[in-house]
Each structure stands twice: as C-alpha cells, then as structure tokens.
Chain A
Amino acid sequence: MINLTIIDRDGGSRAVEIPEGINLSLMEVLKASEYDILATCGGMALCATCHVQVIEGPEEYFTATDTELDVLDTLPYAPPASRLACQIRISEDMDGMVFKLVGEE
C-alpha cells in the first residue's frame, strides 16, 4: 500500500491508502477518494482545478514540470511546491507523502 496524507482546504487532514501498481494520477485518486476536485479538463493540465501543494515527500516531487508551470504561472496564487495533481503519476516512492489541496472548489 502507498499511504498519502491529504490536507483539505479547511485544514483537516486524512490518510488515503492506494494499492501499489495502479496506473492512476494523483488527481484521479483524489477524485476517487471523494475529495472536492472539479478536474474540469480531465487531466490535461489546463484548468488548474487539481492544484495541490507538496508538503512532505521526496525532493523531486517539489518541482513542477514545464507543462504544469505553463499553467501554474498564470494563476493569481500559487505557493511554493505547487503541482497539478493530474500530472503526478502514483508511484511507490510516494509512500508517506503529504499534499495540500489548493485548487478552486
């Protein structure tokens, strides 16, 4: 199991368990875990409604890819370590990571 901690917009946090080997993005996992994420564009890094902030985890997860930065840079607000959850593929090295939801409800 991959264990993640998700801090909701109201500050409350909850653990999310993900089976290993599933080929999903963090956005899809969050939606499936009934977090209030619009994911309007369906995972194409366009709408930024799956905007999250990395709080804890391996260093490489703190840096957004170019595709994400193209969108993140246009947002009025983006804290450090901002990512788009749709561009984060779930993998085993994410075990123990903490994310905070930022995107609009």
Chain B
Amino acid sequence: MEKITTDICIIGAGPVGLFAVFEAGLLKMRCHLIDVLPQVGGQLSEIYPHKPIYDIPGYPDVTAQQLVDNLMLQIAPFHPTFSLGERVENLQRNDDGSYNIITNDGTTVHCQVVVIAGGLGCFEPRKPEIDRLTDFEGKGVAYMVKNPEHFRDKKVVLAGGGDSALDWAVFLSNVAERVTLVHRGDTFRGAPDSAEKVFELAREGKIDLVLKSNVVALTGDDRLQEITLLDRDQQVSHVEADHLIPLFGLSPKLGPIADWGLNIDRSAIAVNTVDYSTNIERIYAIGDINTYPGKLKLILCGFHESALMAQSAFKYVYPEQKLSFKYTTVYGVSAF
C-alpha cells in the first residue's frame, strides 16, 4: 500500500484538476492527483477525445485530447504525481488540520489541502427499481462481472439489453449451469454479432431468453433464491436464481464524497465564490462538480476557479509566508 505526502491532493484528473496543478505550482505547492479512470483527461479523454472545443481562450479550436495533452505539457515543470484507476473512498482529518485521503486500492495521500475536481462524479452502475434489490447486494446481486469463475455451475440471471448484457450472456452460457437473459424490449441494439449469437444460443436451449419482461422482485432467505418477472401483459413468472446481474449502464454519481458532510445542492458541491472553498476548511471544489449562483459548467470557468482556489489554499500550505501575486510574464514559471 502506497503512502504519498503532498501539499494538495486533487480528486479528479480532468482539465480543471490538471490546470489546478499549474496554478498551485506557481505558488510552489506540490500536487498529487487521483482519478478513477485509468488515464488523465476526465471526460475529455474518456468520452469525446476527438471532438473540437471552441471556447478555450486563445484556441479557435482544439480537440479535447489535444487540450489534455497540452495541459500535461503545461504542468510538467511542477512534476505532479498520479494515482490513476483508483477511487477515493475515505477522508480522515488529522489533529493538525491536514488530511489523509484513502483510495480503494489502499493508497494513502497525506495533504494539507483537498481539491475536489471530480467533474460529473464517479460513473456507477445504474440500479433498476426491483423490490429488495439492495438487500441481496453481495448475496447474489452484483452489478458487474469481475471474475466469471464465480458463476461456475450457478443459475445466473442477467438483466439488460445493452452490449454488456449480450456479451456476458454469451460468455457465461459456457460457465454457468443456467443463464437467463431478461430484456424489457424484444430487439437488441447491441453489436449485431452478439445479438445474433444470443438468439442462436437461445434456439439451441443454452440461454433462456425472456423478452418484453422486467425483473420486479427478489426473494431468498440469506441469499438470493428466486426472481420474479413481469411481462408486458402483466403476467408474473418466477425463475430460480443464485445470481442476478443487472446491467443497465453507468450513471454519474458523487460517490463516497457525498458522505463527507459537504453542503450538497442537487448533486453538486456548494462553494463560496470568493475562493471556491466548501463548508469544510481546507476542502475546495472546482469545475463541473461545484455549484454557486450563476454557475456555468465550462472548462474556462473551472480554470478561473482553480486560480482563485490556489491563492486561497496557499495559507494552509505555507502558514508562515505572505502570499504575493506574481505574473508569469514577469517571473516566468519556476519548475521544482
């Protein structure tokens, strides 16, 4: 388990989190970034790397990935460090006011200031409305397939109509004792090959395909034993099941950050526009994840927010020093 000590821990390595490294660096504050995605750039790299962006000052147009690449060049003099592919789970406040941030991989980051630049938040599995669904989480209900062997010789029900539902139905048909795929529609939009394969396996009796139906309830004592289905004609049926895997895509959520006692307003973190600080001392929120009167979810607004945040955070990192404002045109960028 890695232990890292830094001045500012930035949660989220999207464009705003990256630029915060630059603004902090100008004030000699070191940064460590954590992102749940395996690469930097946030939604720019993950969702629309090739889309042009037209409202970055000084660039008539720039693709999302180019902007991220340029930001990485711009912050390189300040040698930021990264924990990528890790999700922030816990925040501990120390007696001296500093914080420890702990990720799901057990990485601990000791820092003076926390900056949440989490954008849309963490993408989490979308949970359908099924009676007693959460009762059976970890007791038969899982939202992703981590280890297919876990399902060997079990009765598995998959719910969903997207690519992942199709692909896992095909794959698990060779592993599980029985695979049932429940889909609310009667066609699949997923890759035609996968859909065709599912229909073929259904014809061969290797998958039970239940169309125009939804899973509505779960039953079992300690573990999941049976699921209840409802079809479009309101007919109820029951299927024995050791496992239910609902695969309904991902939806952005605040995640564990929502439980830190921050003021939350409609899934965004409320901040003071003087310095983009939250209601908790030494914790700031910048970029798409924050909200305030007049908030615009623009990259350029996030850049502005990161500059003001850094000026304010300075007092926690260098409590003995007086902050003097300096232009890069006069002083340049002093690497460290």
Contact = CB atoms under 8 A, between A and B. Distances in A.
B47 A74 contact: no
B252 A75 contact: no
A22 interface: no
A76 B128 contact: yes
A44 B48 contact: yes
Interface stretch (A2-10, A13-21, A65-73, A89-97): A65-73
Contacts of A74: 126, 160-162, 247-249
A75 B249 contact: yes
Interface in B180-237: 184-185, 189-190, 214
A44 B47 contact: yes
A44 B43 CA distance: 11
A72 to B, nearest CB: 9
B249 A71 contact: yes
A104 B47 CA distance: 22
Interface string B261-287: 000001100000000000000000000
B184 A77 contact: yes
A41 interface: yes
B219 to A, nearest CB: 19
Interface in A12-60: 38, 40-42, 44, 46-49
Given A76-B184, A77-B184, A42 B246 contact: no
Range of interface residues on A (Cβ < 8 Å): 10 to 19
B120 A47 contact: yes
Contacts of B297: 42
Contact of B126 (A69, A70, A73, A76): A76
A48 B214 CA distance: 19
B189 A69 contact: yes
B161 A73 contact: yes
B94 interface: no
Interface size class of B (residues with CB under 8 A): 20 to 34
Contact of B251 (A47, A69, A77): A47
A46 B47 contact: yes
What 4 A-B pairs are tightest by C-beta distance, nearest first?
A76-B128, A74-B249, A74-B162, A73-B189
B189 A70 contact: yes
B42 interface: no
Contact of A47 (B127, B162, B247, B252): B252
A47 to B, nearest CB: 6
B161 A46 contact: no
Contact of A40 (B47, B48, B121, B246): B121
Given A41-B120, A47-B120, A70-B189, A75 B248 contact: yes
Contact of A75 (B120, B126, B190, B288): B126
A73 B266 contact: no
Given A49-B251, A74-B162, A76-B126, 12 more contacts: A38-B267, A41-B252, A44-B48, A46-B120, A46-B252, A69-B189, A73-B161, A73-B185, A73-B189, A74-B160, A74-B161, A75-B126
B129 interface: yes
Contacts of B248: 74-76
Interface string B149-175: 000000000011110000000000000
